[in-house]
Amino acid sequence: MNAPPPVADDFALFLDFDGTLVEIAPTPTSIDIAPSLAGHLKRLERRLAGALALVSGRSIRELDDFLDPLDLPAAGLHGLETRFRAGEPAEPAPVGPEIAMLKEALSGSGLLSRGVTLEDKGAALAVHYRIAPDCEEAVMEVMRQVLEGLPDLHLVRGKMVVEAKPAYRDKGWAVSRFMEMDPFRGRTPVFVGDDVTDEDGIRMAQALGGFGIKIGDGHSEARFRLAGVKEVHAWLEETVSARARPPSRTTTPRSDSE
């Protein structure tokens, strides 16, 4: 496993939430938040002079609720919502009629009685089948059929979840926008994430001269890897507790693509 270097003072750090900062749970609301997490993130934000952002499939409001009273720069719903500066209101994503049509079709499919759950995110709809894994193919079939008539939406697959969302933004877009603004501008972008949707952020960070960190198993274009959430916390805590040095400019990290 190619371990990442310590966080350097010139990093712009982009963190996924579920599967990266918190363990994935059977339902979106049943996650366990480490009591120390908000404090570590706040100290890390200060260390990086504000160049720390959450980039998540969750809404920004959910992230704020889980990390209260912390309100970091964030991109929610895979970039559909944005808050480029801490303390400012989030810019909401426009909500079209397509999501309501998809929700109605799924509600009438019979899947909800088999353990499939819907998470209405406003501009996006997440369909969870973690407690009903045998429904995966049925979920995908229903969503593909409905989306044939809704070309403005596309599917984003994750760990035991599939989302339908407008196609014009993703986590890579969010990273690129943050990197155009202070205090992120001119820094080395680093994206940390565990899921397929995080690969857009990882690719963008690496295209802009930084690198990605893949959490857990599976294929990734990230140059570095950590085993899981505990290892992410240890990496962040090490950064907070000790002044880290920048990685060597003379070493080219190898690709990690298991």
3-state secondary structure of 130: coil
DSSP state of 91: B
Active-site entry in 9, 16, 71, 217: 16
Calpha distance 131→171 (Å, rounded):
27
Q: How many helices (H) and strands (E) does the chain have?
A: 7, 11
Torsions phi, psi of 11, nearest 5?
A: -80, 150
Calpha distance 191→14 (Å, rounded):
5
Using CA of residue 133, residue 143, residue 91, residue 236, what is the dihedral sign?
A: positive
120 is annotated as an active-site residue: no
Point out the residues that are catalytic: 16
